[in-house]
Amino acid sequence: MRAPYSPLGSPRQIHRYDWYAIYIGIEYNTTMKTSQMACSSADNWEIQLRKGSLELVVLACLREGRVYGLEILRGLEEQSDLAVTAGTLYPLLARLKRDGFLRSEWVDGDAGHPRKYYRLTQSGRRRLQEMTETWAKFSATLNELLDLAAKEES
Please report which helix (H) or strand (E) contains residue 91, including its range: helix 86-98
- Spatial strand order of the sheet with 114-120 comes to 67-68, 114-120, 102-108
Confidence at residue 50, expressed as pLDDT on a 0 to 100 scale:
87
Domain ranges of the chain: 55-153
**Rounded Cα distance, 18 and 38, in Å:** 12
Architecture of domain 55-153: Orthogonal Bundle (1.10)
| Contact criterion met (CB below 8 Å) for 72 and 61 | yes
* Local confidence pLDDT in tens for the 154 residues of the chain: 444 443 333 333 334 333 333 333 333 333 444 445 556 787 888 888 888 899 999 999 999 999 999 999 999 999 988 878 999 999 999 999 999 999 999 998 777 789 999 999 999 999 999 999 999 999 999 999 999 998 888 8
